[in-house]
Amino acid sequence: MDHHPTNWGRPRDDRVDPYGTFPIHARPRPKEDAFGDAVKHTQQPIVTGSSVIGLKYKDGVMLAADNLASYGSLARYKDVQRLHPVGTSTILGAGGDMSDFQYIQHTLDSLIIEEFTYDDGNKLGPTEIYQYLSRIMYNRRSKMNPLWNSLVVGGIKSDGESFLGYVDLLGTTYQSPTIATGFGSYIAQPLLRNAVDEHPEPLTEEEALSIIQKCMKTLFYRDARSLNKYQVAKVTAEGVTISDPIEAPTVWGFAEGIRGYGAQTQ
């Protein structure tokens, strides 16, 4: 009676338009499972962090993220740390939903404690943490209940090589000498790639820090969901260090000449 593919698989209801007189898209569709709405999954992030940037340099990796957690366009929390050490040779940076990030921090802390209590000399390095996170993120996206984050994992592997990787809410992963998430993928990534590609030798710590600062400053100028207060973390053979909040010197004199910002009213 109704053999059109749009209606395949739908429960047959001959009381309604048995001869298919309605246009296909206007056909009444059977209601979905009555309990379908009972389980609510995260459909959008609420309190969010913006970009995370990172790069490999001579002695290890360096990551940076600002201290802002936004509530929509409201700069809601201005003293939030988005860099989290995991074990003794890994650092995790997060953008996206901050409550999901706190959940991830707790999960990883538990893992590290469990591993510590085994007291078997085995250590979880950045590759293990990266793999673990990718599984968690992919599993959650496969349950249509994602952890709404972009994560950057940096660290020093057991063989002494540095590591820098990315995981996001879809379970997408990649490794790269430079990484920037969110708005930073447009603003900071080109600057980072330039710095690394144009340099014949691996960057020194000073060079790495200076390019990171340049990126964070540019992001503050261009990203409306950013803050001029950020932290820089580094992982070297000596371990993980996270700096106190840093402020980049900025210049706003030019803005006086911009219509809508300065003295002009028209």
Partner 1 sequence: MPHQERRFNPYTENGGTILAIAGEDFTVIAGDTRQSEGYNIQTRYAPKVFRLTDKAVLAVNGFAADGNMFVQKVQQRLEWYAHAHNKPMPLKAIARLIQTMLYAKRFFPYYVYNILGGIEEDGSGAVYSFDPVGSYEREACRAAGAAQSLVQPFLDNQIYFKNQLPPPGGAHPRHLPLNDVLSLVIDSFTGATERHIEVGDGLEIYIVLAPNKSSVELERLPGVKRIQGTFDIAGDASPDVTAAAAAVGVTGEKMFVMRRELKKD
Partner 2 sequence: MTSIGTGYDLSASTYSPDGRIFQVEYANKAVENSGTAIGLRVKDGVVLAVEKIIHSKLLMPESNKRILTIDKHIGYTSSGLLADGRQLANRARDESQSSRDFYREPPTLKTIVNRLSLFIQAYTLYSSVRPFGCTSLLASVDKHGPGLYVIEPSGISLGHHGAAVGKGRQLAKTELEKLKLNELSMRQAVYEAARIIHLVHDDAKEKDFELEMSWIGAETNNIHLPVPKDLFEDADKQARDALLEDMED
Residue 15: CB minimum distance to partner 1, A: 26
Annotation marks residue 236 as catalytic: no
Distance in angstroms (rounded) separating the CA atoms of residues 217 and 226: 10
Which residue is catalytic, options 6, 21, 42, 265? Answer: 42
- Residue identified by tokens 């950057």 is 152
Backbone angles phi, psi at 46, to 5 degrees: -110, -70
CB 95 within 8 Å of CB 166: no
Binding window for partner 1 (CB under 8 A); candidates: 16-24, 36-44, 76-84, 221-229: 36-44
Residue 97: CB minimum distance to partner 1, A: 12
Residue 39: CB minimum distance to partner 2, A: 22
If one asks whether residue 26 binds partner 1 (CB under 8 A), the answer comes out as no
If one asks whether residue 154 binds partner 1 (CB under 8 A), the answer comes out as no
Residue 41: CB minimum distance to partner 1, A: 7
Q: Which residues lie below 8 Å from residue 63, measured CB to CB, with a gap of 6+? A: 52, 53, 54, 83, 91, 93, 152, 154, 232, 233, 234
Residues near partner 2 (CB under 8 A) are 106, 109-110, 113-114, 116-117, 119
If one asks whether residue 138 binds partner 1 (CB under 8 A), the answer comes out as yes
* Residue among 161 and 238 whose Cβ is closer to partner 2: 238
In eight-state DSSP terms, residue 246 is: B
If one asks whether residue 3 binds partner 1 (CB under 8 A), the answer comes out as no
If one asks whether residue 175 binds partner 1 (CB under 8 A), the answer comes out as yes
SS3 60: strand
Residue 220, H or E segment: helix 205-222
- Residue identified by tokens 């309604």 is 16
Which residues form the catalytic set? 42
